[in-house]
Amino acid sequence: MIIFRPAQLSDIQQIERLAHESGPMVYTLPAQRSHLIKKVERSIDSFRQDVFSPGEESYFFVLEETMTGQILGTGAINALAGYQEPFYALRNDILIHSSRELKVHSRIHALTLNHDLSDHSQLCSFYVIPALKNSLYPALITLGRLMFMSIHPERFTNDWLAVIPGVADKNGRAPFWEHVGRKFFRMDYNQVEYYNGTRDKTFIAELMPHHPLYVPLIDEEAQAVMGQVHPDAELQCGLLSEQGFEPDKYVEIFDAGPILTANRNTLDIWQNHRLCRVKLVERLPQAQKYLIGVSTETDFRAVMAEAWLEGSTLLLEDEALLALGIANSGSIESGRQVWCFPVNDSYFSFSDYISVQ
């Protein structure tokens, strides 16, 4: 059984291994042990806080194979994308240039540096090992985080976002960066993404242009990749799109990958997750795949498992209950409730690619 749970300091060595595997594209999971330790410590402290409105909290989760203890993936949530420092993005604006005398009226696309999305809650640090790319476990990371956010609305804002990596090749060449960002930063794409994940964001305000970048003046190679998804991120983009996330008018500042946003009230999991009591059975009368979560004041666990919902009672076999920590030796904690959300096959059929975010 593979379970989705909060990261602990004892996971650091394995998380560091995954950070190296994920590469520079997952800039919120940099391969720097001191940064990862702070990330886990901040998460542990966030779970312990009594939160009435979102602030500096950050929640870091891992996928664990319960039999071996192996960590197979990661995912995180920032309660506010721009709490301590602005969350920068490029906004695609339309600027009007007109001359009554010449009878010319032009609508020109321009990219403007902004921090409009700083008050959104942010999904980040997504990575799963390549061996799980065709399994249901990428969906466990995505839906597990969304379920946690849905059952603890006081910890997050009404609007959520996820940055999807843009186009870059295996050597770290990103067309948008080469034709735009490099002219201002004078460094490689991989290097600037590493700085973006390990340093404060003042260097962005210091070096990025604050005047609009007129899109027609940008090289055509860079224009062609604006808002395009990296092949390795297609699955994650599909999972979020299935829930109701949409690309709006914002792109990432370094590779111009799309930024997906959603109001939580429009999301499928927000509308259809429900609280129910569990009942242990030896054999299910019928079966459907469910995301099943258990939440306490300082913990959250979720699994994907076959189950069957009868009214307000969820029928489960013992393996899932043991993984969730609510059963022992065939008995269930009296009156125990879980959160559940039905999962259809479309969540497992978006792409053959491993997903990163």
DSSP annotation string for 151-184 = H-GGGS-SEEEEEPP----TTS--HHIIIIIHHH
Among 141-155, 190-204, 214-228, which stretch is predicted with the lowest mean pLDDT?
Answer: 190-204
Residue 252: pLDDT above 60? yes
| Average per-residue pLDDT for the chain | 90
Range 92-116 average pLDDT: 88
The answer to whether the beta carbons of residues 291 and 140 sit under 8 Å apart is yes
pLDDT at 198: 83
Helix (H, G, I), strand (E, B) or coil at 356: strand
Residue ranges covered by each domain of the chain: 2-90+114-268, 271-347
Furthest CA-CA distance within the chain? 85
Residue 74 in tokens: 């990661």
Share of the chain above pLDDT 90, in %: 66
At 296-348, the pLDDT tens digits run 888 999 999 999 999 999 998 888 888 888 766 556 665 688 999 999 866 65
pLDDT at 194: 84
Q: Please, how many CA atoms are within 13 Å of residue 91, restricted to the half-sphere of its CB? A: 14
Range 245-268 average pLDDT: 96
- Region for 172 from its dihedrals, namely left if φ exceeds 0, alpha if ψ lies in -120 to 50, beta otherwise: left
Q: How far apart are CA 131 and CA 145, in angstroms?
A: 21
What's the DSSP call for residue 228?
Answer: P
What CATH architecture does domain 271-347 belong to? Beta Barrel (2.40)
Residue 127 in tokens: 């990575």
Q: How far apart are CA 330 and CA 227, in angstroms?
A: 51
- CA distances from residue 256 to 205, 228, 229, 246, 352 in whole angstroms, order as listed: 17, 7, 9, 15, 23
Helix (H, G, I), strand (E, B) or coil at 71: strand
Residue 27 in tokens: 């800039």
Residue 276: pLDDT above 60? yes
pLDDT at 220: 96
329 versus 167: the higher-pLDDT residue is 167
pLDDT at 25: 72
What CATH architecture does domain 2-90+114-268 belong to? 3-Layer(aba) Sandwich (3.40)
Q: How far apart are CA 301 and CA 4, in angstroms?
A: 6
At 1-21, the pLDDT tens digits run 899 999 999 999 999 999 999
Q: How far apart are CA 252 and CA 79, in angstroms?
A: 19
Say how many Å lie between the first and final Cα of the chain, rounded: 24
pLDDT at 282: 84
- CA distances from residue 276 to 290, 309, 325 in whole angstroms, order as listed: 12, 9, 16
pLDDT at 354: 36
For Cα atoms 315, 73, 10, give the angle at the middle one, nearest 5 degrees: 95
Residue recorded with tokens 């429900």: 274
Residue 350: pLDDT above 60? no
Share of the chain above pLDDT 70, in %: 94
The answer to whether the beta carbons of residues 346 and 315 sit under 8 Å apart is no
User: Quick one: which of 59, 63, 64, 61 has its CA closest to 47?
Assistant: 59
Q: How far apart are CA 320 and CA 302, in angstroms?
A: 9
- CA distances from residue 203 to 2, 114, 196 in whole angstroms, order as listed: 40, 14, 9
The answer to whether the beta carbons of residues 111 and 90 sit under 8 Å apart is yes
At 29-60, the pLDDT tens digits run 988 999 999 999 999 999 999 999 999 999 99
User: Strands 337-342 and 104-114, how do they pair?
Assistant: unpaired
Q: How far apart are CA 47 and CA 265, in angstroms?
A: 24
Helix (H, G, I), strand (E, B) or coil at 339: strand
Q: How far apart are CA 115 and CA 93, in angstroms?
A: 14
User: Quick one: which of 124, 91, 84 has its CA closest to 109?
Assistant: 91
